[in-house]
Amino acid sequence: MAVIHRTALKPTKLELLSSWLPARPWYLGGAGGPDLAKAGGFRLDDPQGEVGIEFMVITDTSGARPATYLVPLTYRGAPLDGAEHALVGTMEHGVLGRRWAYDGCHDPVLVGQLTALIEGRVQAQDQSTSDLPDPEVTRSYAGDGLLPADFTAGPATDHRKGTDLITPHGTVLRLHRALRPVPDDEPLLPAGATGHVAGPWMTPEGTRARGLFAVLLAGPRT
């Protein structure tokens, strides 16, 4: 179980992300840098109790129209070997000391727990309260057997629509980074999807939106 500490972070998560976001291919904000606010999200537990796992939803009002991003993050007490390219930055935590924050799509602990969430083997947890499941985060899996364990065999690939993790057999786990609300009269899942994670967030106008966070697309088998 992840323990949520009520303490200060220096710099804050939003301050770290303000420097990191503009270089992402899915960034939609203004040239002067993002204007960020927290909009939602959830957590997952690391079975070993060592890595913090958070899926942050943030809004950016710096562009011509507001944009909403999904930012999966992991927090570690020491650098992750071979993941220098995925480092978002370091923070000083009031209880835990120095923490290394990573783009979680490149962290095998987050990827493993995300696939477990899709399968229904773990529950999404409230973003701000310890040991409290978040029932508003939904998931599904229509495949046969367990998901492949080799999503981390190759690099995560960022593109304008999100981040893809692909197994050697072609199964794609796609994380939507620039989020889009899905209307009630529109199918939640795209054609060919065999699993998903979805959840809500608050818009800058103060209304609730809901959309896909991640989708599983089955590839050919050999």
Mean pLDDT for the chain overall: 89
**Has residue 201 got a pLDDT over 70?**
yes
Return the closest-CA partner of residue 92 out of 77, 107, 105: 77
Q: pLDDT of 107-152, one tens digit each? A: 999 999 999 999 999 999 999 888 899 999 999 999 777 776 667 6
pLDDT, position 6: 58
pLDDT confidence of 93, banded at 50, 70, 90?
Answer: confident
Residue 221 is predicted with a pLDDT of 41
> Is the model more confident about 219 or about 158?
158
Instruction: Give me the mean pLDDT over the 57-67 stretch.
Output: 94
pTM of the model: 0.91
What confidence tier does 12 reach under pLDDT thresholds 50, 70, 90? very high
Structure tokens at 138: 């939904």
